Chain A
């Protein structure tokens, strides 16, 4: 059977799309105003449709790296070198206003403390609908309907009821779902989850992680997960970057890194789980 030229082109395009990462960071350097370098030459690639994890302790530079990608570095901290490209767009070269327009539509993020990103005196539904009106351009009524749909898609029971509730009436897990709904309203290509499940109870964390991997699978969303917990990354991501002191000390397919860690720091992270985590008991149990 001969391959038609059309399908050959199609195959090549797909192959290109796969090999060409959605997000590519090269030699990223971030410094504080006093000259201290807090991110020291980070390279990372996030392939389209994949889930990539950044793991490390507080102060390892993982959060600043993703803030730099978002263009949301804290005051007094700035990018001093390197390139960040999203698809064909070179982000570091863009003026601030253009970058702001990319947020929401091309890349979006959820963070650790969902309550602080919501206005406490406006219902969550109204806030979600506003995002839909501004970023997607829906009319008032359509925005409301779409917001309820989204809340439902986030696995919130009785979405109409949730729509009319204020942030303080919802639990941390529910608020995080609302925030995720807001983040994906304009169907961004890349979603960054920065310690998004850290403050949640284990059972709720599992639900939110499930939601994220569903979004990844069903909507073709590309995911960048930042966490201090190696197990969260292990559950969600195919690729992992281990951060320490502002640099990537180890990277690779998650499974490979977990089985054969090369850097002593990665070994320490794994040792924490093997000595004190649930894996220790599970291993002993399975050996018997």
Chain B
């Protein structure tokens, strides 16, 4: 089975002239259909740059990015636009309030992808909006509303629905729940799990919070200073992490369980070890 997303040896540099710095130093990553992969990294680790490179929002310096078997890293302008209209890869932003146009109704937002693609009648668009709203459990009464009139959870549903409306194969979610409250987080994560089941979506779930991946991700990829330092199933990463940075991450996550809190001494030793690593080759 070919991977839905196959990134190999990806190098990305940002900035111009003297300020140009390499953010990603040869990243490998795969996402299979129906798989949820958690991409974890701290601020500045390059996780958002990786997502933006996959979506063609920043240029890959070298390496390859294949989505559904098609090499996309070299696509420019009209070829890129044509590929995007196919809707194979979609993005869900962290903050639903900022990612939704405040002046456009939920309906307009939901059908945007189909409208860009063109060739749909008004009635078809209405039907599509209703269907995708049902898929993410948004009451149809909200369709004529504006984002300002919705709750945080409803907004994030709209954002996910907008992405899912074009029937993507790959969904990249950048911290989709970190702006939300506990009760809303549950429903949004459950929604992602359901979409994976019903639509066979591959999901790349980007987060700085390892703890939040527990019940969602099948595999976890740990990004540290622009390099993948460890990849494994969620259980492997959580229960038997190998790389010192992963071990530090796992022992740093606060827990509500009865297990005694991780030993501060162990963490101190791990921190020293992680600091000793030369991050840039």
Chain A residues engaging chain B, CB cutoff 8 angstroms: 57-58, 172, 201-207, 209-210, 228-232, 234-235, 258-259, 265, 268-286
Chain B residues engaging chain A, CB cutoff 8 angstroms: 42-43, 181-183, 185-186, 189, 208-216, 234-235, 238-239, 248-259, 261, 264, 267, 271
Residue of B nearest to A270 (CB): B256
Known: A209-B254, A275-B215. 12 other contacts (CB 8 A): A57-B182, A202-B208, A202-B253, A205-B254, A207-B271, A231-B211, A232-B254, A265-B183, A277-B212, A279-B214, A279-B256, A280-B215
B234 touches A276 (CB 8 A): no
Across the interface, A278 reaches (CB within 8 A) one of B185, B214, B258, B261, namely: B214
> Are A275 and B208 also in contact (CB < 8 A) when A206-B254, A280-B214, A281-B239 are?
no
A271 touches B186 (CB 8 A): yes
Residue of B nearest to A234 (CB): B256
Pick 28 A–B contacts, CB within 8 A, sort by A: A172-B43, A202-B208, A202-B209, A202-B253, A205-B252, A206-B267, A210-B264, A231-B254, A231-B255, A231-B256, A234-B254, A234-B255, A235-B255, A235-B261, A268-B183, A268-B186, A271-B186, A273-B211, A273-B255, A275-B214, A276-B185, A277-B211, A277-B214, A277-B255, A279-B214, A281-B239, A282-B239, A284-B235
> Shortest beta-carbon distance, B205 to chain A, in Å?
11
Q: In whole angstroms, what is the CA distance A259 to B256 when docked?
A: 9
Residue of A nearest to B181 (CB): A57
Give chain A residues whose Cβ lies under 8 Å from the Cβ of B182.
57, 228, 230, 268-269, 272
B238 touches A272 (CB 8 A): no
Residue of B nearest to A214 (CB): B264
> Are A278 and B250 also in contact (CB < 8 A) when A201-B208, A202-B209 are?
yes
A206 touches B252 (CB 8 A): yes
Give chain A residues whose Cβ lies under 8 Å from the Cβ of B261.
235
> Shortest beta-carbon distance, B241 to chain A, in Å?
12
B264 touches A278 (CB 8 A): no
A276 touches B235 (CB 8 A): no
> Shortest beta-carbon distance, B33 to chain A, in Å?
22
Q: In whole angstroms, what is the CA distance A270 to B256 when docked?
A: 8
Residue of A nearest to B42 (CB): A201
Give chain B residues whose Cβ lies under 8 Å from the Cβ of A172.
43
Give chain A residues whose Cβ lies under 8 Å from the Cβ of B186.
268, 271-272, 275-276
Residue of B nearest to A172 (CB): B43
A258 touches B211 (CB 8 A): no
A285 touches B215 (CB 8 A): no
Q: In whole angstroms, what is the CA distance A262 to B215 when docked?
A: 24
Residue of B nearest to A276 (CB): B215
Give chain A residues whose Cβ lies under 8 Å from the Cβ of B251.
206
Residue of A nearest to B252 (CB): A206
Across the interface, B254 reaches (CB within 8 A) one of A57, A201, A235, A286, namely: A235
B43 touches A201 (CB 8 A): yes
> Shortest beta-carbon distance, B259 to chain A, in Å?
7
Q: In whole angstroms, what is the CA distance A151 to B7 when docked?
A: 43
A282 touches B238 (CB 8 A): yes
> Are A203 and B254 also in contact (CB < 8 A) when A276-B185, A277-B215, A278-B214 are?
no
Residue of A nearest to B262 (CB): A206
Residue of B nearest to A198 (CB): B178
> Shortest beta-carbon distance, B214 to chain A, in Å?
4
A281 touches B256 (CB 8 A): no
Q: In whole angstroms, what is the CA distance A234 to B254 when docked?
A: 8
Q: In whole angstroms, what is the CA distance A47 to B63 when docked?
A: 59
> Are A282 and B259 also in contact (CB < 8 A) when A202-B42, A202-B210, A234-B254 are?
yes
Across the interface, B212 reaches (CB within 8 A) one of A205, A271, A276, A285, namely: A276
Give chain B residues whose Cβ lies under 8 Å from the Cβ of A202.
42, 208-211, 249, 252-253
Residue of A nearest to B207 (CB): A202
Give chain A residues whose Cβ lies under 8 Å from the Cβ of B213.
276
B181 touches A228 (CB 8 A): yes
Q: In whole angstroms, what is the CA distance A270 to B255 when docked?
A: 11
Give chain A residues whose Cβ lies under 8 Å from the Cβ of B212.
276-277
B252 touches A276 (CB 8 A): no
Give chain B residues whose Cβ lies under 8 Å from the Cβ of A207.
267, 271
A272 touches B183 (CB 8 A): yes
Q: In whole angstroms, what is the CA distance A223 to B258 when docked?
A: 22
> Shortest beta-carbon distance, A262 to chain B, in Å?
16
Pairs of residues from A and B, 3 with the lowest C-beta to C-beta distance, nearest first: A206-B252, A231-B254, A57-B181
Give chain A residues whose Cβ lies under 8 Å from the Cβ of B249.
202-203
Give chain B residues whose Cβ lies under 8 Å from the Cβ of A270.
256
B238 touches A277 (CB 8 A): no
Give chain B residues whose Cβ lies under 8 Å from the Cβ of A229.
254
> Shortest beta-carbon distance, A227 to chain B, in Å?
10
Give chain A residues whose Cβ lies under 8 Å from the Cβ of B255.
231, 234-235, 273, 277-279, 282
Q: In whole angstroms, what is the CA distance A210 to B183 when docked?
A: 28
Across the interface, B185 reaches (CB within 8 A) one of A201, A258, A272, namely: A272
B256 touches A203 (CB 8 A): no
